[in-house]
Amino acid sequence: MLFIKVGICGASGKMGKALIRAVQLNNDMQLVGALEHFENLNLGKDAGVVANIEPVGIKIISDTKTFFQDCDAVIDFSFAGAAIDNITNASQNNCAYVLGTTGLEEEQVMQIKKLSKNIPIMCSANMSVGVNIALHYTELLAQSLDEEYDVEIHEMHHRDKLDSPSGTALALGQAVAKGRKTNLEEKTIKSRWGIEKLRKKGDIGFSTQRGGDVIGDHVVAFAGDGERLEIGHKASNRDIFANGALKALLWLHNKPAGYYNMKDVLGLN
């Protein structure tokens, strides 16, 4: 049986550890690489031990050349600043790429789309199947509920999450904007502090909380006169993101070069 040889970028992070455990349990995949930043304290350690399972015989390294040479496919949940270099290396080694890193700038996304002409890349702010169903129905609701319904998007994550709003919250905002055929940047309310101007029709509000060990809570509220409709999703463990990423990788493997998302994986497009 031929296994998909999988490498994990950001191997010692919260998601990296969950991915290592998930790959080890998958009968179609073989873990062949674990990559980290050159200053990471886990360099040289067994990836399985770092992920709190039995040793897997794969050491965490920072040598990108060695890492990408060994991989058929890569899953990356590291950090936005490393994405372009990592995907460039993957392109040079013909590796399929699943990117779950958030906080990407628009220019970075454009570069990733260019690189997708060489390899298949699946990019999603959130790999959870449930979240992507929520994104799908948020867009459909935005098509049906006009600007008489105010939209508010709320998210909460653990104390260590740096980017705000979360990539998933922004993706939900994009779903609303797409459904209403409008521009998210022009409609976004970015801050509320002190005395604010009256809310304009069609504006999309965001609110953010950080604290504790919350993995990820998201709510989209369509608030009209006399009623409010909400779509919500709460993550209770990171396995949902890891399992979604593996589902995406199995779908992406052997696909032609191109830029894909979880809607493609789930057949929602």
**210 burial class (0-12, 13-18, 19+ CB within 10 angstroms)?**
middle
Reply yes or no on whether 218 is catalytic. no
Indicate the residue type of 126.
Answer: N
Which residue is catalytic, options 5, 65, 113, 157? 157
**100 burial class (0-12, 13-18, 19+ CB within 10 angstroms)?**
buried
Reply yes or no on whether 187 is catalytic. no
Rounded Cα distance, 60 and 10, in Å: 9
Rounded Cα distance, 173 and 152, in Å: 9
Which residue is catalytic, options 161, 187, 218, 233? 161
List the structure tokens of 146. Answer: 């006009």
Tally of CB atoms within 10 A around 179: 18
Known catalytic residues are 157, 161
